[in-house]
Amino acid sequence: MTPGQAEAFFHANGFDVPGDRIEALLEYERLLLDWNTKINLVSRRDKTDFFIRHIIGSISFLFTHSLSGQSTLLDVGTGGGLPGVPIAILHPDIRVTMVDSIQKKVKAVAQIVAGLGLSNARVDCARVEDLPSAGIPPGTSAGTPIRRFDYIISRAVSTASQLVRWCGPMLSTGRGDGSAPVKNRENRRIIPRGSYILLKGGDLTAELASLGEVVDRAAVTVRSLEVEGSGDLLTEKKVIIITA
């Protein structure tokens, strides 16, 4: 995809992106595909439609929703940096921490982050289920209180209910500060701080039923990722937003 094509794609979905950030997204695609020839970071079968399947698939929830500025976000099971790296590119005001349990993936993503010059992003090797029990959040020393994140995001990692159980101690509590508008100036709904953002595919009936055991169903919303110009590449893809 060329910069012009990417700009037109975003514009068609009502999400205008500055040219330098489009260039950064395309450079991320190039770096990730290069690393993917050495380390299996994402499915190698998706190379042809990579930008739409993986990059757009990771951030298309931002076409209808927005994140609060100056916030913190934890990307669980980031793999090749998805969705953490694209979010860090699009939102330089958001501090993004990515974790993955596979060291070689973490090293690759760290090199990608450095190559892109993303000062608002970091990646750590950790099993997310071990972080709360160890009391050592990424990048800190023993004895430091667990850091809480405004948002916890994941893409096809475990079940929604299990992720909530793992990450509960690390998520900021409360449904925003009570003063933020329901929508931003681009008419996108603001996701309150203290929310999980789960990117999923397929039939979620059973998963949503089990989620009711650990969270208030009234705090759960599910939306299909309807993206103009994506054809059937993102069919059945959804975002689950759970506000604590």
What is the per-residue pLDDT for 133?
A: 57
What is the per-residue pLDDT for 179?
A: 41
Query: Domain count of the chain?
Result: 1
Burial class (CB in 10 A: 0-12, 13-18, 19+), 221: middle
Q: Locate 42 and state its tokens.
A: 């994402």
Cis peptide before 18, with omega less than 30 degrees from 0? no
Rounded to an integer, what distance in angstroms lies between the CA atom of residue 17 and that of residue 8?
10
What is the per-residue pLDDT for 177?
A: 47
| 3-class secondary-structure state, position 9 | helix
What is the per-residue pLDDT for 174?
A: 56
Q: Locate 189 and state its tokens.
A: 């709904």
The residue behind tokens 């100036």 is: 185
Give the range of the structural domain holding residue 238, as residue numbers without chain letter: 3-243
Residue 84's φ and ψ, nearest 5 degrees, are -60, -45
Classify residue 38 by its DSSP letter: T
Rounded to an integer, what distance in angstroms lies between the CA atom of residue 237 and that of residue 209?
18
pLDDT tens, N- to C-terminus, the chain (244 residues): 899 999 999 999 999 999 999 999 999 999 999 999 999 888 766 667 889 999 999 999 999 999 999 999 999 999 999 999 999 999 999 999 999 999 999 999 999 999 999 999 999 998 877 776 545 455 444 444 446 899 999 997 888 999 888 888 889 875 544 444 466 666 789 999 999 999 998 889 988 888 888 888 768 999 998 899 999 889 889 999 999 7
The residue behind tokens 């793999």 is: 79
Rounded to an integer, what distance in angstroms lies between the CA atom of residue 170 and that of residue 193?
12
- The CATH number of residue 113's host domain is 3.40.50.150
Half-sphere exposure (Cβ direction) of 7: Cα atoms closer than 13 Å: 8
What is the per-residue pLDDT for 43?
A: 74
